[in-house]
Structure 1
Amino acid sequence: MIAPQDFTSALASFATGVTVVTVSEGRDDIGATVSSFASVSLDPPMLLIGVSAESYLCEVLHRRPGWAVTVLSTAQRALAGRFAAEGRPSARLLLGGQPHHRGRRSEALIIEEGVAALECETRLRIPAGDHVLFVAEVTNVDYITREDPLIRVNRRYR
């Protein structure tokens, strides 16, 4: 049996990009920091995210097929921490004064000044232990910049 802390420590040594996933539901906007993010396919363009099955974000993603993912820049470290909070955070409150706009396809909040922003539509949900993998088709690339991406390694942002 692998001890959970050993598994977590081993994975913490692997550098990963930091994203914020946002989804609009009615009059509210939900968002959370997600570092389980990977490309899946070029044709059609697809990616996947892994979300805690117990999170409110997961609950909303089961109901709403359209969402957005922003790859954060090194200048957005504080945003990563704010969106990592548990509960039912309102994305608009967590953004503070950070520039943002609505996606053309998903209507989710797009956080500006990041590295890239992609709008997605869920195609497949896969239960995976204590997480759910959402495989999605990218329906719009909102922007791409030359900013340095925020990464997380050894439990620290860099």
Structure 2
Amino acid sequence: MPVDPATFAAALRQYAAGVCLLTVRDDMDDVGTTVSSVMSVSAHPPLVAVGLSADGYPAEVLGEVGACGLTVLAAEHAIVASRFSSAGRPGARHLLESVPWRRAGDSGAIVLERGLAALDCRLHRAVEAGDHVLALLEVTDVPVLAGGGAPLLRLRGRYADAGGGPAGRG
């Protein structure tokens, strides 16, 4: 018997996941999206996997450009995560007007200076996975690595801090 999609979604909301900002620099603008389906895949070579909506513009642009930045967001970035998870959003630079950022060296993508970590990545392979694309990313550099800080989590459909409470709004 097939699993009910609503029950499946409710079950996965019980799992706390770290929240990242994926950005791609293309010829026209910077594109970004909030992602919480990120995992470490390999240390040699350094690979991470990111799940992206197959019909979304970020997956399309990443496939064309072939490189991106991935910032692990701190609890203070709940508003940033919300901005980048909304449909019909403007370019990434406009959404980051008051947030310190810089360009990653290899991809030229935006990474947040106050993120917990930032990875400069090259698309290794894209794998179709249902209504998503699993992007396997080779990490070419780590331009940001904080010594500590509280991570931003996604839990039960909301952004949360490490204790499961509401995340900061900075």
Q: What TM-score comes out, normalization by structure 2 length?
A: 0.90
Structure 2: distance between partners of 1:88 and 1:95 = 12
Q: What SS does the corresponding residue of 1:20 show, helix, strand or coil?
A: strand
- Is the Cα contact below 8 Å between 1:120 and 1:136 reproduced in 2? yes
The aligned residue for residue 15 of structure 1 is: 16
1:147 aligns with 2:149: yes
- Say which SS state the counterpart of residue 27 (structure 1) adopts: coil
Instruction: Confirm or deny: 8 A CA contact 1:50 1:134 kept in the other structure.
Output: yes
Deviations 1:116-148 (A, max 9, x none): 000100111100000000001100001111111
- What one-letter code is carried by the residue in structure 2 that aligns with 1:43? H
Paired residue for 2:95? 94
Tell me, in whole angstroms, the C-alpha distance in 1 between the residues paired with 2:151 and 2:31.
22
Q: CA offsets, 1:1-42, max 9 Å, x none?
A: 211110000000000000000000013000000111000000
| Pair 1:122-2:123 in alignment | yes
Task: Report deviation, 1:154.
Answer: 0.9
Per-residue deviation at 1:88?
5.3
Unpaired stretches in structure 1, ≥5 consecutive residues: none
Mapped to 2, the partners of 1:71 and 1:30 lie a distance apart of 17
Normalising by structure 1, we get a TM-score of 0.97
- State the shift of 1:114 in Å: 1.0
Extract structure 1 runs of 4+ deviating beyond 2 A. Answer: none
Separation (CA, whole Å) in 2 of partners of 1:33 and 1:44:
25
Contact 2:83/2:89 (8 A) holds in 1:
no
SS in 2 for 1:125: strand
Two-structure CA RMSD over aligned residues (Å)? 0.9
| Identity across matched positions, percent | 42
1:1-158 → structure 2 map (5 Å cutoff): 1-87=2-88, 89-145=90-146, 146-158=148-160
Q: Provide the C-alpha distance between the structure 1 equivalents of 2:149 and 2:8, rounded to a whole number of angstroms.
A: 32
What is the rounded CA distance, in whole Å, between the counterparts of 2:45 and 2:60 in structure 1?
Answer: 26
Q: What is the distance in 1 between the residues matched to 2:155 and 2:42?
A: 25
- Cα distance change of structure 1 residues 87 and 54 upon mapping to structure 2, 3 Å threshold: farther
Distance 2:108 2:86 in 1: 23
